[in-house]
Amino acid sequence: IKATMIVDKDFKIGEVDKRIYGSFVEHLGRAVYGGIYEKDHSTADPQGFRGDVLELVKGLDVPIVRYPGGNFVSGYNWEDGVGPVEQRPSRLELAWRTIEPNWVGLNEFMDWCKKANTEAMMAVNLGTRGPAEARDLIEYANHPSGTLFSDLRRKHGYEQPHAIKTWCLGNEMDGPWQIGAKTAVEYGRIANETAKVMRWVDPTIELVACGSSSLHMPSFPEWEATVLDLTYDNVDFISLHQYYGNPSNDSANFLALSLGMDSFINTVISTADYVQAKKRSKKKINLSFDEWNVWFHSNEADRKLDPWQIAPPQLEDIYNHEDALVVGCMLISLLKRADRVKMACIAQLVNVIAPIMTANGGAAWKQTIYYPYMHASLFGRGTALVPLIQSPKYDAKDYTDVPYLESVAVHNEEKGEVTIFAVNRNLEESLGLEVDLRSFGGCTLIEHIVLENDDLKAANTLEAPDRVKPHTNGNARVDGSKIEASLSKASWNVVRVK
């Protein structure tokens, strides 16, 4: 069986904002303590940041990292995390029922961002708190000097402001599990008033309003319409969150779930544009898909954990080969709407539903999902091109007419390269692929990277960290402006030409 694809440099979706390759570090489980930070680790730097983890993060070239939550932020007092560490309080952390020792806070995280060559996407607490505390926080973080909070930052050893540009107005405020959950009207009003004061402190910031916490929330997409109606002029982005899983072990269906992500994105764009029309506004609201991933493997283990521990192993999904394929499909979904999805964060970065795993006091390694995320981040920068695809299809439990080929192309004009990202969803057979690169003239192959495995459930572990990893022996051949390849069953492919 065979699929075809036409890619033309003039059929543009839009510029890829590099921030769609963002990630997320929450004060949750071992994401911070035992993840980015472990002061007694053999690779720890003088601040306690793990060097081995930093190296793996740098390998992903992560442009932005959301912090400090997540559900955590809705009960967080940012003041607990600044100033001398020995004077910081330990707190009951109600979102995840742990003890938060506050060994790492805003200033340390900003130092870590510098070391990781990334920037922060900071969230403010709109669960237990409101505009006043958000104003104080941004004054502390971004105001140069001469005021209570900016001078407090200087007293804490940070003379220069952190100049944090991107801010989230709370987290998943539609979810009953959220500390201080709100109705759309309650949230829209407080988000708007918070946005105003934050912008008055620093007019250069960009603000993200909370959209629905998943596509399956009963209030979606009414929530988006109401929230944007109440915040339109004062925010820049609306957020989307979505996780997928395969609890019933139906892999064909699991691989089809990114079709839901496509329609989620399209519906949020339509809703934002509906509010734009209603307001007769010139302004477009873009999308921040600031939590996405596969999440289900750890659910059972998490239910058995005792509460009130410091950094217990929460949400530690061990990812397998099929999870990496779904992550690949999700990355392609983001690229297919690169015109409006301008930020996105794989959730999360280390240990907690993450591409990077660590052992406390031991090694750090790459999960299967590290690879598609890394390939997209490294090779998916430039202009996303419309994928005109003809593909054989199949029917799955939740979706009919699921194309075996999921694909998109990115043109990096600066480097003169085109990269095709492609997943073959067929679990039994390879898929022939013919790409017509028409307007690109004579091309040559740089490499064809393949992530394949006979065992869909194969995973990387501390003992076998390289069981699933890509190779560059893909069979793509380039003849002039045509690429021909055979995509192995259940595979993730990166075909790079110039």
**Residues carrying an active site annotation:** 172, 291
Closer residue to ligand AHR in complex, CB, 26/323? 26
Exactly one of 314, 348, 460, 493 binds ligand AHR (CB under 6 A); that residue is 348
Closer residue to ligand AHR in complex, CB, 171/212? 171
171 binds ligand AHR (CB under 6 A): yes
Closer residue to ligand AHR in complex, CB, 71/493? 71
**Nearest residue to ligand AHR, using CB?**
70
Which tokens sit at 127?
A: 């669960």
Residue type, 12: K
Q: Which residues, 6+ apart, have CB-to-CB distance to 234 below 8 Å?
A: 192, 195, 196, 199, 207
Closer residue to ligand AHR in complex, CB, 212/453? 212
Q: What is the 3-state secondary structure (H, E, C) of 314-346?
A: CCCCCCEHHHHHHHHHHHHHHHHCCCCEEEEEE
CB 36 within 8 A of CB 358: no
Q: Exposed e or buried b for every residue in 472-493, given b needs 16+ CB within 10 A?
A: eebebebeebebebbbbbbbbb
64-72, 158-166, 419-427, 440-448 -> range binding ligand AHR (CB under 6 A): 64-72
Which tokens sit at 10?
A: 């003039």
The contact mask relative to ligand AHR for 268-307 (x = CB under 6 A, - = no) is -----------------------x----------------
29-37, 66-74, 78-86, 407-415 -> range binding ligand AHR (CB under 6 A): 66-74
- Residue 160 Cβ vs ligand AHR, minimum distance, rounded to whole Å: 30
Q: Are strands 286-294 and 237-244 parallel, antiparallel or unpaired?
A: parallel
- Residue 406 Cβ vs ligand AHR, minimum distance, rounded to whole Å: 24
The contact mask relative to ligand AHR for 443-462 (x = CB under 6 A, - = no) is --------------------
Q: Give the separation between CA 345 and CA 154, rounded to whole angstroms.
A: 31
- Residue 10 Cβ vs ligand AHR, minimum distance, rounded to whole Å: 39
Q: Give the separation between CA 150 and CA 144, rounded to whole angstroms.
A: 6
172 binds ligand AHR (CB under 6 A): yes
Which tokens sit at 421?
A: 């990202």
CB 458 within 8 A of CB 321: yes
Q: Which positions from 199 through 238 interact with ligand AHR, judged by CB under 6 A?
A: 213
Count the site residues for ligand AHR by CB under 6 A.
10
355 binds ligand AHR (CB under 6 A): no
Q: Which positions from 397 through 416 interact with ligand AHR, judged by CB under 6 A?
A: none
Going through 333-452 in order, the beta strands assigned E by DSSP cover: 341-346, 356-358, 364-366, 383-385, 388-390, 393-394, 402-403, 405-412, 417-424, 431-436, 445-451
Closer residue to ligand AHR in complex, CB, 139/174? 174
Exactly one of 113, 335, 347, 410 binds ligand AHR (CB under 6 A); that residue is 347
Q: Which residues, 6+ apart, have CB-to-CB distance to 350 below 8 Å?
A: 25, 30, 31, 35, 36, 53, 57, 356, 357, 358
Closer residue to ligand AHR in complex, CB, 92/363? 92
Q: Which positions from 69 through 88 interact with ligand AHR, judged by CB under 6 A?
A: 69-71
Exactly one of 17, 26, 136, 174 binds ligand AHR (CB under 6 A); that residue is 26
Q: CB-based burial of residue 153 (10 Å sphere; 0-12 exposed, 13-18 middle, 19+ buried)?
A: buried
- Residue 239 Cβ vs ligand AHR, minimum distance, rounded to whole Å: 10
Closer residue to ligand AHR in complex, CB, 26/406? 26
Which tokens sit at 271?
A: 């809703």
- Residue 497 Cβ vs ligand AHR, minimum distance, rounded to whole Å: 36
4-12, 65-73, 141-149, 413-421 -> range binding ligand AHR (CB under 6 A): 65-73
- Residue 172 Cβ vs ligand AHR, minimum distance, rounded to whole Å: 5
Q: Which residues, 6+ apart, have CB-to-CB distance to 476 below 8 Å?
A: 445, 448, 483, 484, 485, 493, 495
Q: Give the separation between CA 364 and CA 354, rounded to whole angstroms.
A: 12
Q: In 10 A of CB 362, how many CB atoms? A: 12
Closer residue to ligand AHR in complex, CB, 52/172? 172
Contact footprint for ligand AHR (CB under 6 A): 26, 69-71, 171-172, 213, 291, 347-348
